[in-house]
A and B are shown apart, each in its own frame.
Chain A
Amino acid sequence: MNPLLATVRRDLLLALRRKSEVLTAVFFFVIVTSLFPLGIGPEPTLLKKIAPGILWVAALLATLLGLPRLFAADHLDGTLEQMALSPSPLGLLVAGKILAHWLLCGLPLVLLAPVLGLQFDLDPSALGILTLALLLGTPLLSLIGAIGAALTLGVRGGGVLLALLVLPLYIPALIFGAGAVEAHIAGLDVGGHLSLLAAMLVLAAFFAPWATTAALRIALE
């Protein structure tokens, strides 16, 4: 089996044995996005206006919730050391771990977003754009987050540091992701926003596993 796919399979299997860790991030997303309509009350125009921003910020924070665990468990039990010494390139295994993180923490958000968007009175085409933007944006969040997770590995109080490190880097994804939906609601073309998101995703997919691998090698020393 391809080492990358083997890593994905391993991490999915581990998540299956410990469901609560994955479900926490998904429930967090559902609850946070549901609190706003409840708190603000039935004002469709206001809700519609804030919907993209709130859904995106909630997705950002939900992704962040799962990041500290991305490498911590493997680091603690020594399996990360074994990965670093494996005949397979560490970058490939790291890419597999990032892909597994997206499948567990990103994809559920993409699938839930259209349902949760209904609470904000978004029409079906806006929901479609929201889902598409999240589909491009959430892998980007996992990729950038992995660099931060590797850099803060083994640092005491690393969780807070990770948030401080990663959240500013999430700003471009937030601006163009939420911007796409806002532009669509305003009747503008969304092609530019989505193209930029896709370009950032391609760039991150190329560089993030490499940067993460370098950070992990330092953390292991």
Chain B
Amino acid sequence: MDSGFGHNCAMLTVSGLACSRGERRLFSDVGFRLDPGEWLHVQGANGAGKTSLMRVLVGLAHADAGEIRWREAATPSAEFRRDLIYLGHHAAVKEDLTPLENLRLAAALDGIGLDEKAALASLVRLGLRGREDLPVRVLSAGQKRRVLLARLLTRPAILWVLDEAFNALDVGAVRLLGELIAEHLGAGGMAVLTSHQPLPVPGGKAVML
């Protein structure tokens, strides 16, 4: 599902980014650039501002200074939102709905048609076979996380911004997510990740906050 991204023009450029919370300066003069097939590991201690950087990057929060450009154009733009998927700390799934309903409604909200077979296939890939018709409420924390991660397969996005995506996942799921990211990069996608664990994805740039 990740195939077919253009290898030519997609590019993320960040320069001189600064952000503060109240009086405290979290980070300043952060800059990096990502080309198709590259990924960035955002590193830093607790409270260093990794999540803030992610939120500024996707456009949920404002930076004090700096510039984020996507395909040469300033963000946030409609084009950027179409090319982006952001998975943060939140579960971002509805507890009263089943994993299948969650996936299909999330796709419909994004204006993407998703048939049941494709939704089911992505849930199976995430190891949720037989759980697709249970309310998410009864699933474990790791399984809820897997429901959210299934969106990576159903939403055709070029830039994956994953904040602590490896939390609550078991060994198998960590390996699986590593594979998914590697496949995505192989197809010309890009990823920005934060994690305290060593990531099971080869290569990658790093930014230290």
Tell me the A residues contacting B by CB distance below 8 Å: 1-3, 6-7, 9-10, 13-14, 17-18, 77-79, 81-89, 93, 220-221
Known: A77-B91, A81-B60. A88 touches B110 (CB 8 A): yes
Q: Are A82 and B92 in contact (CB under 8 A)?
A: yes
Known: A6-B105, A14-B97. A88 touches B111 (CB 8 A): yes
**For the complex of A and B, 7 pairs with smallest distance between CB atoms:** A78-B90, A6-B108, A78-B92, A17-B96, A87-B82, A10-B105, A1-B108
12 contacts between A and B (CB under 8 A): A1-B108, A3-B110, A9-B105, A10-B108, A77-B91, A77-B93, A82-B86, A82-B109, A85-B86, A86-B109, A87-B82, A220-B60
Which residues in chain B, 56-114, are within 8 Å of chain A measured between CB atoms? 58-62, 78, 81-82, 84, 86, 88-97, 101, 105-106, 108-113
Q: Select one of A1, A18, A78, A221 contacting B96, CB under 8 A.
A: A18
**A88–B105 alpha-carbon span in the complex (Å):** 13
Residues from chain B with Cβ under 8 Å of A81 in the complex = 60, 86, 88, 90, 92
How far in angstroms is the closest Cβ of chain B from A209? Answer: 15
Residues from chain A with Cβ under 8 Å of B93 in the complex = 77, 79
Inter-chain residue pair count (beta carbon < 8 A): 78
Q: Contact string, B34-60, partner A, CB cutoff 8 A, digits 1/0?
A: 000000000000000000000000111
How far in angstroms is the closest Cβ of chain A from B16? Answer: 20
**A82–B163 alpha-carbon span in the complex (Å):** 14
Q: Are A221 and B62 in contact (CB under 8 A)?
A: yes
How far in angstroms is the closest Cβ of chain B from A176? Answer: 35
Q: Are B91 and A85 in contact (CB under 8 A)?
A: no
**A87–B62 alpha-carbon span in the complex (Å):** 19
Residues from chain B with Cβ under 8 Å of A7 in the complex = 109
Residues from chain A with Cβ under 8 Å of B111 in the complex = 2-3, 86-88
Residues from chain B with Cβ under 8 Å of A220 in the complex = 60
Q: Are B94 and A77 in contact (CB under 8 A)?
A: yes
How far in angstroms is the closest Cβ of chain A from B28? Answer: 19
Chain B interface mostly: loop
Known: A10-B109, A87-B81, A87-B82. A78 touches B91 (CB 8 A): yes
Q: Are B60 and A79 in contact (CB under 8 A)?
A: no
How far in angstroms is the closest Cβ of chain A from B24? Answer: 16
How far in angstroms is the closest Cβ of chain B from A14? Answer: 6
For A89, the closest partner residue in chain B by CB is B78
**A3–B78 alpha-carbon span in the complex (Å):** 15
Q: Are A78 and B88 in contact (CB under 8 A)?
A: yes
Known: A18-B96, A77-B90, A79-B92. A85 touches B60 (CB 8 A): yes
Known: A1-B113, A78-B88, A79-B92. A85 touches B81 (CB 8 A): yes
Residues from chain A with Cβ under 8 Å of B105 in the complex = 6, 9-10, 13
Residues from chain B with Cβ under 8 Å of A88 in the complex = 109-111
Residues from chain A with Cβ under 8 Å of B94 in the complex = 10, 14, 77, 79
How far in angstroms is the closest Cβ of chain A from B60? Answer: 6
How far in angstroms is the closest Cβ of chain A from B209? Answer: 19
For B79, the closest partner residue in chain A by CB is A87
Residues from chain B with Cβ under 8 Å of A17 in the complex = 96-97, 135
**Known contacts A7-B109, A86-B109; can you find 18 more A-B pairs with CB under 8 A?**
A3-B111, A9-B105, A10-B105, A13-B101, A18-B96, A77-B90, A78-B91, A81-B92, A82-B92, A82-B109, A85-B59, A86-B81, A86-B111, A87-B78, A87-B81, A87-B110, A88-B110, A221-B61
